[in-house]
Amino acid sequence: MTSSITIAHLSDLHLSALHKRSHIRRTRRALDHLNALGVDHVVITGDITADGTPEDYRVARSVLASAGLLASPRLTVAIGNHDVFGGVHTAEDVLSFPGRCARTDDKAKLKEFGAAFQETFQGTLMPAEKRIFPFAKIIGGVALIAVNTVAPYSRVKNPLGSNGSVDDRSFEMLRDILADPVIRTRRKIIALHHHFHKMRETREGTVHSVWGAIERQTMKLRGKSRLLKLFAQHQVDLVLHGHIHRSAEYLRDGVRFLNAGGSVLHEADPDLHINLIRCTASGCTTEIHRIPFENLPARISTSLVHSEASLTAGHAAA
């Protein structure tokens, strides 16, 4: 690399035309901040919308366009489970949501996602013509590689649409991308939605314990081991994800991970959070910026990598 690249990482915006309109205002505040910083590129790792409806996509496009981001050199997106299956918003949804997941055509939803953000897919390296993911995008000396980790519906393995997996064909394509000579010579950053550490229940009480057990079974990524092995083999510099509404960096089998799930919906903090990655010839450094909603932003950590035994965001490494 001959010059540095600054990448902003956000996730889990959950933009909606119907629910929690405050997410729009919070996302605009975050995007205004990163534009003020003059970042070179933005990565959003899934759950951009709350339900993946045409109305939600219109809202998301409006928010991103107003920030000047609807262009391939400016934005890379990965898909999340909410973009495919949607989510639970009302008491009635609790009973109807499993049936909704069962009726969802995940292939059709992938096409809708690609059409909604079509500008951002221009000029990408796609190994298969009929698949949107995985793909690679070259930003200076950095290769951004986006992967779909949303698992198809399964009454046993994915009843609520929130579990993740990477099918065999996508894994083979990802392996080919990482082996490509154009990719090998650059800093490699993977963008996907699901996390790589196990959730740990930290709240007390029977109800919380039961719900924690449900979450642990319905928010997991299957096949992590072979992905980790592949990332290590090809010396991936950083893996970006969301899914869990926290912001933290951690190590897993020597691979660095950066979670941006707390960008606008942090579980334990009302402020906004943006992850910043700066890549040079010598490596990539990271910062997590906390943005008080009405005040000036403050940097809260720089290149802080938690060990596998000391995750402080309420999760333990698997």
**155 touches 199 (CB < 8 A):** no
Strands 298-302 and 283-291 turn out to be antiparallel
Q: pLDDT tens, position by position, for the chain (318 residues)?
A: 668 999 999 999 999 988 888 899 999 999 999 999 999 999 999 999 999 999 999 999 999 999 999 999 999 999 999 999 998 888 787 888 899 999 999 999 999 999 999 999 999 998 777 889 999 999 999 999 999 999 999 999 999 999 999 999 999 999 999 999 999 999 999 999 999 986 554 444 444 444 445 555 567 899 999 999 999 999 999 999 999 999 999 999 999 999 999 999 888 888 999 999 999 988 999 999 998 876 545 555 555 444 333 333 332 222
pLDDT attached to residue 130: 80
φ, ψ for residue 8, nearest 5 deg: -100, 140
76 forms beta bridges with 43
Q: What is the distance between the alpha carbons of residues 153 and 136, in angstroms, rounded to a whole number?
A: 26
- Amino acid in the structure at residue 20: K
Q: What is the distance between the alpha carbons of residues 177 and 126, in angstroms, rounded to a whole number?
A: 9
pLDDT attached to residue 216: 57
Distances (CA, A) of 194 to 60, 128, 170: 21, 23, 15
- List the end-to-end C-alpha distance of the chain, in Å, as a whole number: 34
pLDDT attached to residue 315: 29
- Amino acid in the structure at residue 281: A
Q: What is the distance between the alpha carbons of residues 69 and 35, in angstroms, rounded to a whole number?
A: 10
pLDDT attached to residue 21: 83
Reading the block at residue 304, the tokens are 């802080």
Three state DSSP letters for 88-136: CCCHHHHHHHHHHHHHCCHHHHHHHHHHHCHHHHCCCECCCCCCCCCEE
pLDDT attached to residue 88: 86
Walk me through the domains of the chain, giving residue ranges and CATH numbers: 5-316 (3.60.21.10)
Contacting residues for 177 by C-beta, under 8 A, at least 6 apart: 125, 127, 134, 135, 136, 145, 183
